[in-house]
């Protein structure tokens, strides 16, 4: 080979080697970027100086902490990350949390708080502070960090909201939780949505809403309606009435006995107002505030209307008028009442034929002590009658012996 050819070959080899080295670094950096968030250790094999991968590895090591060796390794990785990317919030947090041999000293607390100045979206820092306050027995302090974490991070909300909801029924925590909710933070609606969707709604929900009245954290009416319904389903009628009165002031002035004769009561929610039902078997419609039109379509019968009452124990009478072409038909509507807590019957009345196509309901009944609420219902039983139309009016419940 001639000297000229030899020099030319050498130049080609040098250029090729340089290009290969540059290509490797480019490939390594690219692979480091690809894997940095998902597989930090793999990313570091390609790009040992990748700051994000280093902080991820430091964080993962701290999260899986088993012994002092891991603690030291996490700290080393955190400082390596900070040398590569100064100001990395996670690396600052890991460095702070692993100082003082991992103990929550006052200095460590200040360092962890300092890490949040670089990024408030670091749930781990808040959880560390929550655990530190919990260990110190500072409930209010721990809940302050709950609030801050959930204000700034959706990830924190998904982790912390279920914990807070599960703690609502602890007598030592329900009050402080209510105080935090009263601030009206951006996560409170999500909090109440999860409360009402819970298979077993926390028993303190009604009491906490009552405490929140007038505050920024008072739940909107839509949430309140769901809570009222769940309270009724759970047979907690007094609480349901108390919560309903916060949203519907008209309910406070409602006379329980007299309200039975009003089928239209604007401003009063169900089940404290009459609930009217229509389906393939029956239909009900309030043609006036004190008049209820009912239609029977099939022999199956069904429920036209119902209303929840809270009558005081004692003796009562019931009166109503029903008009129809055939008021005493087999499928004609009946009125009944049962104790809401155990479904025990209080009375069931059929109309008695009167003059000029009118039927009359007239009966007496007693509400026993311990029956805190009653379901008042109007229905047609199943029968051979397949159709009919009726109108109910002059419906009145009166306490016997009252002036």
Instruction: Write out pLDDT tens, residues 19-29.
Output: 333 332 333 33
Sign of CA dihedral 213, 217, 222, 228: negative
Question: Which of 61, 85, 119 delimits the end of a domain?
Answer: 119
Q: Could you say which of 119, 146, 179 is where a domain stops?
A: 119
Is the residue at 167 inside a domain? Answer: no
What average pLDDT does this structure show over 180-194? 95
- 70 found inside a domain: yes
CATH number at residue 36: 1.25.40
In the listed set 87, 119, 151, which residue is the last one of a domain according to the structure? 119
Residue 285 and residue 291: Cα distance in Å, rounded?
A: 9
The two tokens of residue 134 are 């919990």
pLDDT tops 50 at residue 206: yes
pLDDT confidence of residue 107? 87
In this structure, what token pair is assigned to residue 94? 């890991």
CA atoms within 13 A of residue 87's CA, in its CB half-sphere: 2
Helix (H) or strand (E) holding 282: strand 282-288
Answer with the residue of higher pLDDT: 175 or 120. 175
Q: What is the pLDDT of residue 202?
A: 92
Full domain range(s) for residue 343 = 258-399
Mean pLDDT across 227-243? 92
CB 316 within 8 A of CB 365: yes
Could you tell me which residue, 81 or 262, shows the higher pLDDT?
262
Total count of domains within the chain: 2
Q: Is the pLDDT of residue 215 over 60?
A: yes
Is residue 136 a part of any domain in this protein? no
**pTM summary value:** 0.72
pLDDT at residue 358, as a whole number:
78
CA distance 335 to 360: 11
For residue 307, what is the domain's CATH number? 2.60.120.260
pLDDT score of 82: 75
**Is residue 288 included in any domain, yes or no?**
yes
Within a domain: 208: no
For residue 352, being part of any structural domain is answered with: yes
Nearest to 298 by CA among 381, 242, 403: 381
* pLDDT reported for residue 188: 95
Q: Is residue 393 part of a domain?
A: yes
Q: Is residue 8 part of a domain?
A: no
């Amino acid at each position: 080979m001639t000297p000229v050819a030899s020099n030319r070959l050498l130049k080609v080899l040098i250029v090729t080697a340089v290009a290969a080295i540059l290509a490797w670094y480019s490939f390594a950096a690219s692979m480091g970027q690809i894997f940095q968030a998902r597989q930090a250790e793999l990313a570091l094999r390609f790009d040992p100086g990748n700051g994000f991968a280093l902080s991820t590895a430091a964080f993962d090591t701290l999260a899986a902490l088993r012994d002092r060796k891991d603690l030291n390794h996490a700290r080393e990785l955190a400082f390596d990350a900070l040398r590569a990317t100064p100001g990395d919030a996670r690396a600052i947090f890991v460095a702070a949390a692993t100082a003082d041999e991992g103990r929550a000293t006052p200095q460590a607390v200040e360092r962890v708080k300092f890490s949040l100045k670089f990024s408030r979206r670091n749930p781990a820092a808040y959880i560390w502070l929550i655990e530190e306050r919990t260990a110190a027995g500072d409930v209010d302090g721990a809940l302050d960090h709950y609030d801050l974490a959930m204000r700034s991070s959706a990830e924190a909300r998904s982790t912390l909201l279920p914990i807070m909801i599960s703690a609502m029924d602890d007598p030592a925590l329900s009050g402080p939780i209510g105080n935090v909710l009263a601030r009206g933070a951006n996560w409170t609606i999500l909090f109440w949505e999860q409360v009402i969707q819970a298979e077993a709604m926390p028993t303190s929900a009604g009491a906490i809403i009552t405490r929140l009245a007038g505050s920024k954290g008072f739940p909107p009416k839509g949430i309140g309606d769901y809570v009222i319904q769940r309270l009724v389903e759970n047979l907690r009628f007094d609480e349901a009435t108390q919560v309903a009165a916060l949203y519907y002031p008209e309910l406070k002035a409602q006379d329980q006995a007299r309200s039975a004769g009003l089928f239209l009561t604007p401003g009063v929610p169900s089940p404290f107002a009459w609930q009217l039902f229509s389906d393939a078997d029956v239909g009900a419609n309030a043609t006036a505030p004190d008049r209820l039109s009912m239609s029977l379509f099939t022999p199956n019968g069904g429920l036209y209307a119902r209303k929840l009452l809270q009558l005081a124990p004692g003796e009562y009478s019931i009166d109503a008028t029903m008009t129809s072409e055939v008021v005493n038909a087999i499928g004609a509507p009946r009125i009944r009442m049962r104790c809401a807590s155990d479904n025990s019957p209080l009375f069931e009345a059929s109309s008695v034929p009167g003059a000029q196509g009118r039927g009359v309901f007239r009966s007496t009944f007693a509400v026993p002590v311990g029956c805190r609420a009653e379901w008042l219902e109007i229905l047609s039983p199943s029968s051979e009658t397949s159709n009919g139309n009726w109108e109910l009016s002059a419906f009145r419940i009166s306490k016997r012996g009252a002036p």
